[in-house]
C-alpha cells in the first residue's frame, strides 16, 4: 500500500469566495486539529503519486478496472457517490488542501462502515479497536475500502507524469475561476490543461466539467473548441436537464443551488 507523508498537511485556513452578480459568500474552514496525524491514520486510502497508479492498478485496487480521476475532490461527496453509482471503475480523488482531504478520507471510511473518529482522538473500528493519533495507520483491507483512493497535492504537478492513454474519465467540479487578469492559464479548463487531459485520457475518454460560474463555463467551451476534444453535451441548467437523473451533487453544488445558482455542465470526448 502507498502511504501519506505527514509533512504535507500544514494548511491553516481555507477560504472560498463564491460570487453571483457581485454578491460574495464566504465559506471558511478552520485548520483541523491533528490534521496531519489524522490523515496519516487513513494512509491505506492514500496514493502518494498518481503516476504510479496505472502500472500498479491491480496492486492498489485489487482489479484492473478503468481509472477515473477527480481533480479537486473537496470533502469527497461526488467521488463517494460516483463510485457507488458506477462500481466497475477505479477512482482517484485529488485534493491540494490536506485538511480538506482529511475530511474526505474520514467521511469515505465512515460511510463504508469502517469506523469513526474516536471521542479522545484517533480512529475507532466498529469492533472497538482504537488507532491513536501518532500511531500505526488503520488496518483497512483492500476489500473493505473498495474502489476509491485519494491523493494530496496540486493536480497541475501530479498529473503531468501520468502515462499516455491511461485514464478513462476526468472530472473537474466547481474549480477556482481565476477571474483576475493574467490568471487565465491557471484555469483547469485552459487549453494547456485540456491538452494534458487529452494526452493521459484514452481515445474516447471523457472530460466532465461542472461550474456555477457562467463566464468560466463560456471560456471553457471556447477552450474545448481549440482542443482535441469533441463537445458531446452541454447545459446551462443541469438540475433542469435530463442529466440530472444521474448527477451526483457536491457539497458546494448543493450550497450554490440553494442560493439560486444554475449549474453549467459539459462533457467532452477525447478525439486525439
pLDDT tens-digit map of 26-62: 444 556 667 899 999 999 999 999 999 999 999 999 9
Higher pLDDT, 26 or 212: 212
pLDDT of amino acid 135: 95
E strands within 174-263? 201-211, 229-235
CA 123 from chain centre, in angstroms, equals: 23
> How far apart (Å, rounded) are the C-alpha atoms in residues 263 and 11?
29
> How far apart (Å, rounded) are the C-alpha atoms in residues 237 and 255?
15
Alpha-carbon distances of 27 from 24, 61, 105, 199, 213, rounded to whole Å: 10, 34, 20, 35, 16
Mean pLDDT of 12-17: 34
Short-list 12, 41, 44, CA closest to 28: 12
> How far apart (Å, rounded) are the C-alpha atoms in residues 63 and 53?
12
pLDDT of amino acid 35: 80
Per-residue pLDDT tens for 103-161?
Answer: 999 999 999 999 999 998 899 999 999 999 999 999 999 999 999 999 999 999 999 99
Per-residue pLDDT tens for 228-265?
Answer: 999 999 999 999 999 999 999 999 999 989 998 999 99
Which residues contact residue 208 at a Cβ distance below 8 angstroms, ignoring those fewer than 6 apart? Answer: 169, 170, 171, 172, 265, 266, 267, 268
Per-residue pLDDT tens for 161-208?
Answer: 999 999 999 999 999 999 998 999 999 999 999 999 999 999 999 999
**Domains of the chain as residue ranges with CATH:** 6-270 (3.40.50.150)
Q: Which positions are catalytic?
A: 176
Dihedral, CA of residue 215, residue 221, residue 223 and residue 227, to nearest 10: 170
pLDDT of amino acid 215: 97
Local structure of 140: helix, strand or coil: coil
pLDDT of amino acid 13: 33
Burial (0-12, 13-18, 19+ Cβ within 10 Å), 62? middle
pLDDT of amino acid 272: 74
Short-list 204, 199, 202, 176, CA closest to 189: 176
Alpha-carbon distances of 165 from 12, 191, 196, 204, rounded to whole Å: 37, 18, 11, 10
Amino acid at each position: 500500500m502507498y502511504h501519506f507523508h505527514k509533512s504535507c498537511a500544514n494548511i491553516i485556513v481555507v477560504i472560498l469566495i463564491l460570487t453571483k452578480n457581485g454578491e460574495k459568500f464566504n465559506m471558511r474552514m478552520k485548520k483541523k486539529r491533528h490534521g496531519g496525524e489524522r490523515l496519516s491514520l487513513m494512509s491505506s486510502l492514500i496514493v502518494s503519486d498518481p503516476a504510479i497508479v496505472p502500472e500498479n492498478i491491480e496492486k492498489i485496487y485489487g482489479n484492473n478496472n478503468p481509472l477515473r480521476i477527480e481533480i479537486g475532490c473537496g470533502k469527497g461527496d461526488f467521488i463517494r457517490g460516483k463510485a457507488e453509482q458506477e462500481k466497475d471503475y477505479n477512482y482517484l480523488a485529488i485534493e491540494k488542501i490536506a485538511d480538506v482531504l482529511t475530511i474526505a478520507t474520514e467521511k469515505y471510511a465512515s460511510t463504508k462502515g469502517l469506523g469513526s473518529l474516536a471521542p479522545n482522538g484517533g480512529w475507532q473500528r466498529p469492533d472497538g479497536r482504537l488507532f491513536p493519533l501518532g500511531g500505526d495507520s488503520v488496518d483497512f483491507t483492500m476489500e473493505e475500502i473498495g474502489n476509491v483512493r485519494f491523493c494530496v497535492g496540486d493536480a497541475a504537478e501530479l498529473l503531468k507524469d501520468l502515462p499516455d492513454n491511461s485514464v478513462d474519465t476526468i472530472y473537474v467540479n466547481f474549480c477556482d475561476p481565476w477571474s483576475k487578469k493574467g490568471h487565465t492559464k491557471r484555469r483547469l479548463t485552459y487549453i494547456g490543461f485540456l491538452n494534458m487531459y487529452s494526452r493521459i485520457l484514452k481515445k474516447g475518454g471523457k472530460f466532465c466539467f461542472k461550474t456555477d460560474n457562467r463566464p468560466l463555463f463560456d471560456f471553457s467551451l471556447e477552450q474545448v473548441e481549440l482542443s482535441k476534444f469533441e463537445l458531446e453535451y452541454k447545459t446551462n441548467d443541469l438540475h433542469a436537464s435530463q442529466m440530472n437523473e444521474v448527477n451526483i451533487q457536491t457539497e458546494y453544488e448543493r450550497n450554490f443551488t440553494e442560493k439560486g445558482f444554475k449549474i453549467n455542465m459539459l462533457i467532452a470526448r477525447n478525439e486525439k
